[in-house]
Amino acid sequence: MKNKIKLKINNQELTGSEGETILEVAARNGVEIPTLCHHPDFCDKGNCRVCVVEMKGNDRLVTSCSTKAGDGMEIITESEKIKKVRNVNIELIYAEHVEKCATCVWRFECKLLAFAQKYQTKIVRFEDRKKNRQIHKLKNALEIDGTQCIDCRNCISACQNLQKLDCLVMRGKGHGQEVDFRDNKKNPCILCGQCALHCPVSAIQEQTNYEDFEREVKNKEKTVVVILDPVMAVSIGENFDMKKVELNSVASALKQLGVNYVFNSALGVEINSYIQSEQILENDGKKLMIGSHCPATINYIKQYQPALADNLQKIKSPAIIMGGLIKTYWSDKLKLDPSKISVISIGVCVARKNEIVEKKTQFNGLWPVDYALTLRELSFLLKKNKLTLEKTKTKSIDALNGESTELFSASVFASILERLKSNNQINKINSEKGVHNFDEFILLQNEHGKELASLKGIGEINKIVDHMEKYSYLEIMSCPDGCFGGGGQPIPTTEELRKKRRHAFLAKKMPKNFSREKLDNQIVDILEWLSDNNLENKILFQ
């Protein structure tokens, strides 16, 4: 039990716990202090100095995010002195962040831009220090714009502390220092996007594809089909100050932008889960199976644990399966030329940008998914076109076969468990085993009593690699809390927000008429059609 302390903030007597920062005590008591580089996932480095406050007895202002609250302290969070110093700090940050707001996907949510407007700072007072810096690109997924970086090192902390990888480096010294990717052969990046998710100024971010989207919807020759990740419904509202958003509203807004059809990828999740559930039972614990639905995890296994590569399931990920079905099964029903269909996946994953261009996804000379955008890029497109996500009565989500499929399971693993549980084949033994983000279940049917487990956050993988023999099936999601903390989610994403999104998702009620049997019959119809058309392997397996 931590000792209690008493302090005054803005002349108000407040109580804190030993070890808490001034910022934490203030936030818990509703006192707002602006912050930029602070992120609750990491220890504060006190870098941007936007959060400065006055402390009685100190001539110099202190950074509230990195200064521990102490008994008897007297803190002031707004004064002329603070305003002056904070404004100079913001102006100095702008000297490191060349203004490219017009084309920045983060411009509608950018804290730095909001501060400049709120505090009326002169953003051009100091000369741009970094205007000659380079943009470092990694594959087709990520980029670091050296002209934008404010040297806070949050990206490096995300890679090292959260993901326990070491793919970023601060090169140079003093004014010449610059974040860069390390040698991708020696320290391969898995493209999880956690660095981008933790950058306060979007200096490291996804390579955007919103211009491809804009070009495709203008092209009258093309039928544009969007596949949405269902988990987006519980987080996109954060960018629109809305508590609840229905995927149907997102679909409706996309159609106003010129998209012809919008599916959610739930059917892809269910097909993937249907096939994997059968394989798990057939395998009966003989060989360790590792799910292949998280593209960043596949990158991780291949690059860091090659001995496990053979254990990766060969089934394609839900978005790739959906794209394949759209260009075969669905186009055949609608008599559309698949080469004139443009499939755009929009979701919470950065690694997908690279997954969709991998040769092994191709079939009959076609790419199942042509472009992959993040939720952040979608928010940007909607705001740029002044579209909102209000509830709509029009049914805008389309159905690939029969009724559109809703996703009720929080992941492929959850859906697999549902299937096995409904057949009495598993017994839940542990859901939060004291290990962060770790779920374990035992497969009863297996005489060896091996377990099925889901690990969320590649940084936690050391907790299982030393006893792999315990498991018959592993789902490994590379991002903390899986897709709820996906690299393409809104910024900021904190542990609290990840939890909130997960709870909102799990609180979704099954509609009364939902029948897994009906859904599985629908899946069987599709699988039979693929098999009759000799497409099963091409669309489902890699």
Binding site for ligand FES (CB under 6 A): 35-38, 44, 46-51, 63, 65
Adjacent-strand bridge partners of 454: 439, 475
If one asks whether residue 204 binds ligand SF4 (CB under 6 A), the answer comes out as yes
If one asks whether residue 271 binds ligand SF4 (CB under 6 A), the answer comes out as no
Q: How many CB atoms lie within 10 A of CB 444?
A: 13
What is the footprint of ligand SF4 within residues 129-158 (CB under 6 A)?
142, 144, 149-155, 158
As to burial, measured by CB atoms within 10 angstroms (0-12 exposed, 13-18 middle, 19+ buried), residue 534 is exposed
Is the CB of residue 10 less than 8 Å from the CB of residue 75?
A: yes
Q: Binding string to ligand SF4 for residues 158 to 177, with x set by CB under 6 A, is what?
A: xx---x-x-xx---------
Residues in the chain: 542
Q: Supply the DSSP symbol for 312.
A: B
Closer residue to ligand SF4, CB minimum distance, 151 or 520: 151
Residue 289 near which of ligand FES, ligand SF4, none (CB within 5-8 Å, type-dependent): none
Least distance between ligand SF4 and beta carbon 47 (Å): 8
DSSP string, 346-408: EES-STHHHHTT-GGG-BTTB-S-SEEEEHHHHHHHHHHTT------SS--S--SSSSPPPP-
Strand order in the sheet with 142-145: 135-138, 142-145, 204-206
If one asks whether residue 194 binds ligand SF4 (CB under 6 A), the answer comes out as yes
Residue 381 near which of ligand FES, ligand SF4, none (CB within 5-8 Å, type-dependent): none
Closer residue to ligand SF4, CB minimum distance, 128 or 246: 128
Least distance between ligand FES and beta carbon 46 (Å): 4
Q: How many CB atoms lie within 10 A of CB 158?
A: 27
Residue 116 near which of ligand SF4, ligand FES, none (CB within 5-8 Å, type-dependent): none
Q: Are strands 142-145 and 168-171 parallel, antiparallel or unpaired?
A: unpaired
How many of the chain's residues bind ligand SF4 (CB under 6 A)?
27
If one asks whether residue 479 binds ligand SF4 (CB under 6 A), the answer comes out as no
Closer residue to ligand FES, CB minimum distance, 38 or 255: 38
If one asks whether residue 491 binds ligand SF4 (CB under 6 A), the answer comes out as no
Closer residue to ligand SF4, CB minimum distance, 190 or 483: 190
Q: What's the rounded Cα separation, in Å, for the pair 48 and 443?
A: 50
Residue 539 near which of ligand FES, ligand SF4, none (CB within 5-8 Å, type-dependent): none
Closer residue to ligand SF4, CB minimum distance, 283 or 303: 303
* SS3 assignment, position 152: coil
Q: What's the rounded Cα separation, in Å, for the pair 493 and 106?
A: 14
Adjacent-strand bridge partners of 226: 262, 344
Least distance between ligand FES and beta carbon 201 (Å): 11
- Where do contacts with ligand SF4 occur on this chain (CB under 6 A)? 142, 144, 149-155, 158-159, 163, 165, 167-168, 179, 189-195, 199, 201, 203-204
